Structure 1
Amino acid sequence: MNFTTLIKIAIFLVVAFFGIEALRVRHADQTLQRYAGAGAAFPASDGPVQGAASGQGFEFRGYQVKPLASFAVRARVLAREDYRLGREADLSPVDLALGWKRMADPKVYGPLNITQGGRWYRYSWRDQPPIPLQEIVESSANMHMIPANAAVERTLKQVKEGSYVRITGQLVQVSHASGWTWTSSLTRSDSGANSCELVFVESVQLEP
């Protein structure tokens, strides 16, 4: 195989990669748009849908908000924790620990000891976890909720543990002139420090 052929193959592979990635992002964005409408039929078990960021950065309550990705999720509320103190609470008064796929099933998450505190979500079990640990990691998350307006904040205050919630908005990075920053995770496969989603919530719907 000569050098020219190798170059052609390399170019083909690069074009193919970016073509596939463009289709993936387009599909995610179309899904987000479909879900964003009031009463839209979110999938019961597909988990969060993430697409390209929409819009430019903006000022919010004295902070700069930079959208990182569009975001939508329908999930079971595994736990909630309210916060009133600290800079983070100025923006995000509530964290929701959310579960999807098998982590939305009470038979799976019920045996787990689930707690929140200090902006963390923790779980433990006796003997063996109900499902593989990595599956727990990839189908649940602690999310910091930044309500975009008073109506969203009122609805978030009504969220109950064990119910389903539908959320659309943006995963964001928030910064302050003092140098302080708070950045969302952009993957569902991480755990530990910096693994929580920071969600600028533009719409929230509760299910009975």
Structure 2
Amino acid sequence: MNRWTWLLIAGALAALLWAAGRHPDVASPSAAPGLPAFDCRLPGPLPASELEPPLQGPVPEGVGDFQLGDYRVRPLAGFSLQARVLGREDYRFDRGAAISPTDLALGWGRMSDPAFYSRLDLWQSGRWYRYRWGNEGPPLPEEEIVRSSANMHLVPANSTVASALSRIEPDQRVRLRGWLVEVQGQDGSVWRSSLSRNDTGDGACELIYVCELSAE
């Protein structure tokens, strides 16, 4: 085959991989020995707008661990937000991709305003969200950037959520409700959500079992 044929084949394979990353298989929550089925009861209201910080509340009595594919999931807190999408990154081959195929970097408060976040150079890689500013300095105090934005690992609860997630793009407004969770693998590995909006560094990202997701 000539060079152009190989290029066409490579392009088609790249498109298939991209589509697969945007439309991941979704494990269904199920009962396991000693664990009840999980019905994704929605925790609490949404914040009034993306200008308000996310809402977090305790896990109600009767909401406990459940099985998701090969993983045991423990709800840690109810969670809801309205926010602006600062960036997205899809994962297919890292350790967490089987349960969380997409990270969204989200901003609320003044970090939901393009007048501020557009002045930052934002990117995601390796399950991290990073930013930097130019010689003019940060558009907001750095502590405000920290408490008003975060990288969030999303675990779709069902195919409806997965489909909505596949269509989300930077700069959209999103509404999300679900649970901050801890996920334990069969090998004993543990992936635990942060429970604070003020932390930074390793372990500062939210891991969210997403029951409801929409965007505009």
TM interval, shorter chain, is 0.7 to 0.9
Give the alignment's TM-score, normalised by structure 2. 0.77
Q: 2:168 aligns with which of 155, 159, 165?
A: 159
CA deviation after TM superposition for structure 1 residue 176, in Å: 1.3
Q: 1:72 aligns with which of 59, 69, 80?
A: 80
Structural RMSD (CA): 1.4
1:170 touches 1:201 (CA, 8 Å); kept in 2?
yes
CA distance in 1, matches of 2:103, 2:48: 21
CA deviation after TM superposition for structure 1 residue 188, in Å: 0.3
1:34 match:
45
Alignment of 1:29-178 (within 5 A): 32-35=43-46, 42-54=48-60, 55-127=63-135, 128-178=137-187
Greater Rg, structure 1 or structure 2?
1
1:42 touches 1:166 (CA, 8 Å); kept in 2?
no
Aligned-pair identity in percent equals 46
CA distance in 1, matches of 2:143, 2:49: 22
Gaps of 5+ in 2: 1-42
Report the secondary structure of 1:84's partner residue.
coil
CA deviation after TM superposition for structure 1 residue 34, in Å: 3.1
CA deviation after TM superposition for structure 1 residue 42, in Å: 3.5
Give the alignment's TM-score, normalised by structure 1. 0.80
Residue identity matched to 1:158: R
**Larger proportion of helix:** 1
Residue identity matched to 1:46: E
Provide the aligned length of Structure 1 versus Structure 2: 172
2:201 match:
192
Gaps of 5+ in 1: 1-31, 36-40
- Encode CA deviations 1:4-45: one digit per residue, 9 max, x unaligned: xxxxxxxxxxxxxxxxxxxxxxxxxxxx5333xxxxx74231
CA deviation after TM superposition for structure 1 residue 111, in Å: 0.9
Residue identity matched to 1:149: N
CA distance in 2, matches of 1:139, 1:198: 17
CA distance in 2, matches of 1:34, 1:199: 16
1:46 touches 1:100 (CA, 8 Å); kept in 2?
yes
Residue identity matched to 1:190: D
Residue identity matched to 2:96: E
CA deviation after TM superposition for structure 1 residue 47, in Å: 1.6
Residue identity matched to 2:138: P
1:121 touches 1:141 (CA, 8 Å); kept in 2?
yes
